[in-house]
Amino acid sequence: MSFLPRSPSAIFLSTVGLLAVVAAVFPQWLTPYDPTGIDVTALLAAPSWRHPFGTDELGADVLARVIYGVRLELAIALGSVVLAGVVAIPCGLLAGYLGGWVDWVLTLVADSILSFPIVLFAVLIVASLGASVATLIGVLGFVFVPRIFRLVRGQTQVIRATGFVRAARAMGVRTPTILVRHILPNILGPLLVIVPQLMAIAVLIEAGLSFVGLGVQPPQISWGSLLLVSKNYYIAAAWYPLAVGTVTTLAAAALVFGGDLAAAAVNPSRRRV
Amino acid sequence: MLRTAAPYLRFFLILWIVVTVVFISLRLAPGDPAVLLLGPTAGRQDVAENLADIRERYGLDRPMIVQYGIYLTDIVTGDLGNSNRSDRPVIGLIATAAPVTINLILLSILVAIPIAVFLGMTAARYRNSPYDITVRGVATLAMAIPSFWIGLLFLNFFAISTIWLPASGYAPLSEDPLGFLRHMLLPVTTLAIYLVGTLTRFVYTETADTLEQDYITVSRAMGIRPRSLLFRFAARNSLTPMIIVVGVEIGTLIGGAVIVEEVFGLPGLGRLLLNAVLGRDYPLVQGCVLAITVAVILLNLLAEFIYRRLNPQAAE
């Protein structure tokens, strides 16, 4: 069972990750409440044993809404990273391995996409396609491509120069086989580092865009749309925005921290924050 | 040989691709681009001839390549079109709003750098002490806080619950310096929190690496005081790369500024852009995105140039 996490922080983060997956797939296991349930007897009720995060303007349990929000949150964060990986990993492998003009052109395109500030690019695409979860995943996937591409390309260059790859080449192993069988397995570690980092960015961008009305639209439940809905209650029911914002912050911080841990595990000689 | 013609050619190619991506994004939209460009009034009968005007102006009923030609010519001559709301030139609207955003970002950088340098370097100096672990934990949290949320918390605490600071609006620095500071205090703090987080983490990593190098060990053996060792000897090596990082973060900061301006009601580029997208003022959205992205590219080029100047070894 060597794949099980051992250090306390790794165990903690794995538990949080597992909880997030459960919340996304079986939210009803974690809360008895219906996230859209209306209860006129408890509008904006303060936190209590029954409602640890209080209730919202329609009397729905805020904790339940936060838990049910995980599903979209995870769909956006994972969906965009997977989408980006599907494009970026083959391109990065080719650019790093072949070099020459293929590398030059692909890197140029990647750097161009990278120079768009993410939020601005998202606003531009939302202006032409309209705000929706699909647009959000597409936009984030698109801007993540160059970030994964650069990593894969750099790692491929390093591994291409190692003895075992040169030996394989000398033995006449075909390029696709070298890329998939010899190089790809060796860059999975660094890829594991960037995935939580990008997911953290996705969570924060989702929150920001939904907050200004350009991301997930209420009544769909995501943390961003909850932050949007709760913005009128900072004074009357401060726990409501406080709870949602704190959860968002902690989730993003956990992802960043997860990336740090992965980085330390992949490359023990180089400390990271 | 392409590599030797390098930086300038590359720079113009990147600009060209960025401009082309913006061109394509309008054509991605389902339906008639002319309707998108004309905005909310497009459906009205009395302005039907406006649609025809727009088609004529941007060549929308002609082949894509002609449209692209017209688009590129406009951009090269600095014509970003007119806002479909106010019919004023987009470039003028951008010029009016830009100073607010520039001030906001510049002040945030000026506030964040000294704090991040101090925290990052001292944490690296006392590595694995409780102080270090606290600093790094707080830095990671600072990166992860949604800026608009902490902004709204500040706003409700400092500006509405207590009446210390104005809740929204702006006063130009040249006319009302005190009002400028009062209006800027909360937005700048909000934006600086993220930057302090990122930069502290960066300074920490760099300094921790530098402190393990031989020249530091030698200087320590020679009896240089720890304080000058850290802030003079190590700082020179670990802080120059920060120029590049600040350059890269400008893109993120602009994104943050868009949302922070909305929260605090600052009449900057972010507010202009958001009002444009919510009011379906497509030409203004497109113009803002183009102008800001080009500015970001130029700033990154500048950061790289300064870095090369300070650190000739880094030239590839």
Q: Which residue has the higher pLDDT, B26 or B276?
A: B276
In the Cβ-directed half-sphere of A187, how many Cα atoms lie within 13 Å?
A: 31
Q: How far apart are the first and last CA of chain A?
A: 28
Decide: helix, strand or coil at residue A265: helix
Taking an 8 Å cut-off on Cβ atoms, the answer to whether B140 and A249 are in contact is no
Give the 3-state secondary structure of residue B104: helix
Q: How many CA atoms lie within 13 A of B54 on its CB side?
A: 22
pLDDT at B160: 65
CA distance A115 to A220: 31
pTM equals 0.89
| B194 and chain A in contact, CB less than 8 A | no
Inter-chain residue contact A241 with B149, CB threshold 8 Å: yes
Q: In the structure, what pLDDT confidence band is assigned to residue A38 with cuts at 50, 70 and 90?
A: confident
Helical spans, DSSP H, in chain A: 8-25, 62-98, 100-114, 118-129, 133-160, 163-170, 175-177, 184-211, 223-229, 239-266
Residue B1 has what pLDDT?
47
- Average pLDDT value for residue range B40-60: 72
* Local confidence band at A165 (pLDDT 50, 70, 90 cut-offs): confident
Using CA atoms, how far residue B199 sits from A7, B104, B109, B239, B241, in Å, is 27, 18, 10, 10, 11
pLDDT digits (tens, 9 = 90+) for B132-162: 999 999 999 999 999 889 988 888 877 665 6
H or E, element range at A237: none
Long-range own/partner contacts, residues B68-75 (CB < 8 A, 24 or more apart): B68/B20, B68/B23, B71/B23, B72/B19, B75/B19, B75/B290
Please provide the average confidence, as pLDDT, over all residues in chain B.
83
How far is Cα B290 from Cα A58, in angstroms, rounded to an integer? Answer: 42
Average pLDDT over residues A10-30: 85
Tell me chain A's radius of gyration from C-alpha atoms: 22
> Across the strands, what pairs with A55?
A61
| Chain A contacts in chain B segment 248-277 (CB below 8 A) | 251-252, 254-256, 258-259, 262, 273-274, 276-277
Could you tell me how many residues make up chain B? 316
For residues B203 and B239, the answer to whether their CB atoms sit within 8 Å is yes
Closest CA to A191 of A269, A88, A109, A111: A88
Q: What is the pLDDT of residues B10-38, one digit of tens each?
A: 888 988 999 898 888 877 777 777 777 77
All domains of chain B in start order, with CATH: 2-76 (no CATH), 92-315 (1.10.3720.10)
How far from each other are the two terminal CA atoms of chain B, in whole angstroms?
Answer: 15
Cβ count within 10 A of residue A192: 15
- pLDDT at residue A82 greater than cutoff 70: yes
Residues 139-178 of B with CB under 8 A from A: 139-141, 143-150, 152-153, 155-156, 160-161
Topology (CATH) of A8-32+51-270: MetI-like fold (1.10.3720)
Please tell me whether the interface predicted TM-score (ipTM) of this complex is above 0.90. no
Q: In chain A, what are the domain boundaries?
A: 8-32+51-270
Determine contact, residues B34/B298, Cβ cutoff 8 Å. Answer: no
